[in-house]
Amino acid sequence: MADANAAHIAVRIKAHTKIGYGEDLLVCGSVPALGSWSLADAALMQCQGDMWTLTTELPCGVRAQTSANDGAHSG
């Protein structure tokens, strides 16, 4: 378990993709900022055209695994 007081670093994840109208692109991963593998808590990427971007803070010294997922917009 990571120390809540540990230093963090800003990380930017980008994806160039087309998905269906009304769908979102989410990044789910092994750290709390990415939902701790819970798709319901995954980080929502922001879209501009076909470029999707997520900027988040991740703890230094912790290996984070990720998975990108698309899904219908839930309102």
Buried b (16+ CB within 10 A) or exposed e, 17-40: eeeeeeebbbbbbebebbbeeeee
Domains of the chain in sequence order: 8-64 (2.60.40.10)
In contact, 23 and 68? CB cutoff 8 Å: no
Tens digits of residue pLDDT in 32-67? 999 999 999 999 999 998 999 999 999 998 898 998
Nearest to 58 by CA among 5, 11, 21, 4: 11
Pick the residue with more confidence: 15 or 5? 15
Asked whether the beta carbons of 45 and 53 are under 8 A apart, the reply is yes
How does pLDDT run across 16-32, given as a tens digit for each residue?
999 888 889 999 999 99
pTM for the full predicted model: 0.77
Q: What is residue 6's predicted lDDT score, i.e. its pLDDT?
A: 72
Tell which residue, 59, 66, 73, has the closest CA to residue 21: 73
Q: pLDDT value at position 70? A: 79
